[in-house]
């Protein structure tokens, strides 16, 4: 009699936990990104959150998608995205979303903020087929601007070492004065407080290659204070590759900051 009671209790409890989700992706081969072997399972989603992974045959959803024979993975990350302008024109991001890209990371040396009035005018004059009003000044304001307009993808950005340099020095081939460097560091700090991932450089292009190593170290030190990182399109990818690597390692060591390379080839 006691066994029957516990059996009935278990059945009732099982019924009580049946759930309805917004979406269930059924019968997929799931690669979780850890490097472990894939598993066959269902994925339940409510709003923008994955709620459950496993055998969900006892559950239902408003939308159910059978992906038998297909792979299910976390969204891919575009670590070097130049969708900064195209997302203003069309935030649906279909060209990348349909390839599985769910996060666009900007800031390879240049970023969409901070901007001064002269930079805004220059950006306006350089606009191509996509025309837009520059309604922001800081990097954080630009990211908020995109979100308010509506974007399908997640977005993030490094603050451009070139951008803060142009903000204070323009396109001149010279080192910053001590006062200019302090203002550049303040701009990096502001961007970090607004959510920047760190400092990005692109040292193969003008005026980026006017920056000396010590300048990049000082900017990276500020990012390090906020737990950020340094990422770089290095000065050389061919004849002076080893020297460029040495510079990146020097910046990482002196600024006590993690460092990443955009293009590593030999």
pLDDT tens readout for residues 11-56: 333 334 678 999 999 999 999 999 999 999 999 999 989 999 999 9
The correct CATH number of 2-72 out of 3.40.50.720, 1.20.1250.20, 2.30.40.10, 3.20.190.10 is 2.30.40.10
Pick the CATH number of 76-261 from 2.60.40.60, 3.20.20.140, 3.10.129.10, 3.40.50.720: 3.20.20.140
Distances (CA, A) of 26 to 71, 235, 256: 11, 48, 46
CA-CA distance, 93 to 72, in Å (whole number)?
20
pLDDT score for 17: 62
Does the pLDDT value for residue 230 go beyond 60?
yes
245, 214 contact by CB (below 8 A): no
pTM of the model: 0.88
Rounded CA separation 21/45 (Å): 6
From the list 133, 127, 196, the residue with the least C-alpha distance to 164 is 196
Tokens of 101: 């890209």
- Report whether 210 contacts 165 (CB < 8 A): yes
Contact residues for 132 (Cβ-Cβ < 8 A; gap 6+): 85, 88, 89
């Amino acid at each position: 009699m006691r066994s029957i009671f516990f059996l009935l209790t278990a059945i009732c409890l099982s019924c009580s936990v049946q759930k309805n989700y917004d979406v269930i992706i059924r019968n997929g081969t799931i690669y979780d990104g850890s490097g472990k072997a894939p598993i066959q399972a269902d994925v339940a989603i409510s709003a923008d959150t994955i709620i459950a992974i496993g055998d969900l045959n006892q559950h239902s959803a408003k939308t159910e998608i059978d992906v038998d024979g297909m792979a299910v993975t976390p969204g891919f990350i575009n670590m070097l995205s130049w969708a900064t302008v195209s997302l203003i024109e069309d935030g649906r991001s279909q060209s990348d979303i349909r390839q599985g890209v769910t996060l666009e990371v900007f800031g390879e040396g240049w970023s969409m903020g901070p901007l001064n009035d002269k930079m805004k005018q220059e950006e306006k004059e350089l606009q191509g087929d996509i025309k837009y009003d520059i309604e922001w000044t800081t990097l954080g304001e630009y990211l908020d601007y995109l979100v308010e307009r509506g974007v399908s993808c997640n977005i993030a950005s490094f603050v451009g070492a070139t951008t803060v340099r142009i903000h204070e020095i323009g396109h001149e081939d010279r080192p910053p004065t001590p006062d200019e460097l302090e203002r550049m560091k303040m701009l990096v700090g502001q961007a970090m407080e607004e959510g920047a991932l760190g400092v990005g450089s692109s040292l193969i292009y003008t005026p980026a290659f006017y920056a000396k190593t010590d300048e990049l170290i000082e900017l990276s030190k500020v990012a390090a204070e906020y737990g950020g990182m340094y990422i770089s399109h290095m000065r050389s990818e061919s004849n002076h590759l080893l020297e460029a690597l040495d510079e990146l390692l020097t910046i990482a060591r002196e600024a006590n900051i993690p460092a990443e390379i955009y293009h590593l080839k030999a």
